[in-house]
Chains A and B, each alone.
Chain A
Amino acid sequence: MKFAVVVFPGSNCDRDMYHAVKEGLNEEADLVWYLDADLSSYDAILLPGGFSYGDYLRSGSIASTSPIVQQIKKAAADKKPVLGVCNGFQILLESGLLPGAMLANRDLKFMCHQEELRVENNKTMFTSEYQKDGLIHLPIAHGEGNYYCDDATYQQLKDNEQIVFTYTNNPNGSTGDIAGIVNETGNVLGMMPHPERAVESLLGNADGLRLFQSILTYWRNNHAIHA
């Protein structure tokens, strides 16, 4: 399976994402520069964390106007797995691939520590290797991770089981304790916590690896057989 890690100016978790796929999952990955990338040959698209364009205007807003977003939208429409972590999540929100928006953390602090998450939905292509309602730990590192959506959107997210991860101890003020959501078709996941920073038990935590393993399992079940 071949993963593309899209690198924007200001991305800084791209190497971790690459490492997670390459060494954690033992699958193929390329770091692709946002200007000259051709995403058509990849099986999954990963948008890493960081501070694309220095978070100017709003986090992720400038990156969301770059031409590669059209390719990301095409990959999403083709039902390929698209994962946005942290700034990647913000880019997915700003480009309209996921509903809602990010606000500054409730207490205005940049937060960088490990959080406990509940797996609300393990029937997605990103979470099949987790237990439903299972508790996992992943690092967070953000200043604008306070997920916001209006009541109608929140109800929709709940009804469609689009809420994938919630915080057990909401650190940033997110609506409904939301840490990660998928789109309606379930193939675009945005999350603030960093699974790519938790892929090796030698370094203390491998809870994030199962997310990548889930993507691989999905792909093997749905594509490799027919290839």
Chain B
Amino acid sequence: MRKVKVYITLKEGVLDPQGKAVKNSLNTLDFGSVNEVRVGKYMEVMMEESENLEAQVEEMCDKLLANPVIEDYSYEIEEVIA
């Protein structure tokens, strides 16, 4: 079994009103050093081992988990010892 950690972030240049609201709140809490916040998504996908695991993960991201028009993704694969 493998644990696939998928990170989805908004592409650079795509406005992130949520991140902006979080940034403003952090500034309000006196974290004046915060200049920007971008909010993304994190998913854990448990998968059977296979030879083309990476290709499968990338296909899943392209087809559903991320929207390539507005989002980028990256991932890490971890071994899970039962």
Contacts and interface: CB of A to CB of B under 8 A. Distances in A.
Interface of A: 57-58, 61, 65, 93-94, 99-101, 103-108, 146, 148-150, 173
Contacts of A105: 17
A89 B2 CA distance: 36
A106 B67 contact: no
B67 A61 contact: yes
Contacts of B65: 57
Contacts of B53: none
A104 B64 contact: no
B64 A57 contact: yes
A148 B14 contact: yes
B80 interface: no
B34 interface: no
Nearest to B43: A57
A103 B21 contact: no
A177 to B, nearest CB: 15
A104 B67 contact: no
B64 A61 contact: yes
Contact of A101 (B15, B63, B64, B67): B67
A108 B14 contact: no
B69 interface: yes
Nearest to B11: A150
B1 interface: no
B69 A101 contact: yes
Given A57-B64, A61-B64, A65-B64, A108 B69 contact: no
Given A65-B64, A99-B69, A146-B15, 16 more contacts: A61-B67, A100-B69, A101-B69, A103-B14, A103-B15, A103-B17, A104-B17, A106-B15, A106-B17, A108-B17, A108-B21, A148-B14, A148-B15, A148-B69, A149-B69, A150-B69
